[in-house]
Amino acid sequence: MLTEPVIEIATKDPVTITPDTPISKAIGIMEKHHFHNLIVLDEREEIYLVTIHDLLLASSVNETIETLMFKPHCVNENTPVIDAICEILDSGQRAAPVVDDNGKLVGIVTDYDIMSRVGRSQLLKDVKVTRVMTRDPITIYEYESIGKARSLMRKHNIGRLIVLDRDGKPIGMVTEDDILRKIYKPKRRMTLGEVVGEKVPRMSQPVSLIMSTPLITADMDATIPEVARIMEKYDIRGVPIMKRGRLKGIVTRIDIMKYIKELREGSYVEVEIYGEFDEEMKELAERILATEVKKIVKYTGKPQWIKISIKKEHDKGGVPYYHVKVYVKTPGKLYVGEGRPKLSISKRMEMEEEDVVLVTEKQRWDFIEVLKDALDAVLKRIEMDKEREHPRHVKRELEK
């Protein structure tokens, strides 16, 4: 369960530079070794870090690294991998120097190292990418400028953009790496006459000149380890998620690390679903569940379990309708929310050691509406109980 010491997956004896290293040289080192982070050691062997994203902020490649380096959070070599992931994310970094008990540098662990380990994880082997992907990712058209790509990356604090053709079809990817290596320090310098018959500054040229193709993607049914292995194999940091040729989202290394952090902190709740519903409703149902479960966790802490029972039936005309029950087990209480095509009723029953609360049966034929009603019923009952226990606390939570 990602519990081995972080030094076991870290890169030992990392490449280092000094504060007086020119930015142009640092870019060259990153390009040669396919690095996204470089450790900087000063004359007292104080540890600093500079990232490829930082280098995009440079006004000149002739500046020294000292103007961009920062004091990073370091991870002890004996820290379990899952805890190291949490520390890296909390620090706002994508990599961390690894130190021994005396604070001496012994390695560096990066998001690439973590993806290599995630690709073999049994903990995540059945988790679909839809759990972690970012929907409606930021995109750019192939004819739009490299300068606009850089601005979008800075604005949204992201490292890549999916490139679309004129018909809106995903055809490639442009990353901060591409801008650094092909614009800031290219092997073949792009000049004002790069576009035949025109004189166009490099940053005004279209992203199609520097984008990576073909686009490497994954299907909506892929699991997190499968996507992690794709990232490792092709040394990429983001994978667009497709469904029947259409762009549905993107998964990055950071998305996967954040999900692992949620597992570690116990905010993740496994939802067991019994029964069947139409496949085209699956994606929307998962989004609704993710949102509502977070609300339930907010009020109850981590529930002992959540189960959803779906019963699909047909009326005399063959039209399908659904009965949905949502069960949320918290210490001392079991909440049951029900959505079904009947008039609203509510009941309350008492058991010897714990309450069983049955609430809300509404007239709904559509599955999504029935599911939302059942979840909403549970949440309202939990809010009512919380209000009785801590009225001011709930009021503050609702005002946030």
**Of residues 199 and 128, which shows the higher confidence score?**
128
Comparing CA positions, the residue from 325, 327, 359, 357 lying closest to residue 345 is: 359
Residues 206 and 299 in one domain: no
- Separation between Cα atoms, residue 297 and residue 269, nearest integer Å: 8
Which are the contacts of 133, defined by CB distance < 8 A and separation ≥ 6?
Answer: 241, 248, 249, 250, 251, 255
How large is the average pLDDT for residues 299-307?
Answer: 79
Residues 293 and 240 in one domain: no
Residues 136 and 247 in one domain: yes
Residues 164 and 233 in one domain: yes
**Of residues 320 and 77, which shows the higher confidence score?**
77
- Separation between Cα atoms, residue 298 and residue 295, nearest integer Å: 5
Is residue 346 situated within a structural domain?
yes
How large is the average pLDDT for residues 369-381?
Answer: 87
Measured CA to CA in angstroms, residue 237 lies from 113, 139, 232, 387 at distances of 12, 16, 9, 44
Q: If pLDDT is split at 50, 70 and 90, which confidence band does 32 have?
A: confident
Measured in degrees and rounded to the nearest 5, phi and psi for residue 388 equal -65, -35
pLDDT of 176 = 85
Q: Tens digit of pLDDT for each residue in 62-72?
A: 889 998 999 99
Q: Tens digit of pLDDT for each residue in 164-176?
A: 999 999 999 999 8
- Separation between Cα atoms, residue 121 and residue 300, nearest integer Å: 29
Q: Which two tokens stand for residue 179?
A: 């801008």
The proportion of the chain whose per-residue pLDDT surpasses 70, expressed as a percent, equals 83
Residues 253 and 157 in one domain: yes
Tell me the residue range of the domain where 26 lies: 6-118
pTM for this entry: 0.65
Task: Say how many CA atoms lie within 13 Å of 342 toward its Cβ.
Answer: 12
Is residue 1 situated within a structural domain?
no
Residues 243 and 351 in one domain: no
Q: If pLDDT is split at 50, 70 and 90, which confidence band does 142 have?
A: very high
Q: Tens digit of pLDDT for each residue in 94-116?
A: 899 999 999 999 999 999 999 99
Q: Of the ranges 184-188, 246-250, 271-275, which one carries the lowest mean pLDDT score?
A: 184-188
Is residue 213 situated within a structural domain?
yes
pLDDT of 2 = 80
Residues 99 and 35 in one domain: yes
Helices (H) then strands (E): counts for the chain: 11, 20
Does 144 score more than 70 pLDDT?
yes
If you average pLDDT over every residue of the chain, what do you get? 83
Residues 111 and 137 in one domain: no
- Helix spans in 157-203 (H): 176-179
- Separation between Cα atoms, residue 172 and residue 216, nearest integer Å: 8
CATH number at residue 234: 3.10.580.10
Q: If pLDDT is split at 50, 70 and 90, which confidence band does 361 have?
A: very low
Measured CA to CA in angstroms, residue 299 lies from 241, 293, 302 at distances of 33, 10, 9
- Domain count along the chain: 3
Residues 82 and 32 in one domain: yes
Quickly count: other Cβ atoms within 10 Å of residue 85's Cβ: 28
Residues 394 and 278 in one domain: yes
Is residue 123 situated within a structural domain?
no
Q: Which of 233, 260, 287 is the last residue of a domain?
A: 260
Q: Tens digit of pLDDT for each residue in 208-257?
A: 999 999 999 999 999 999 999 999 999 899 999 999 889 999 999 999 99
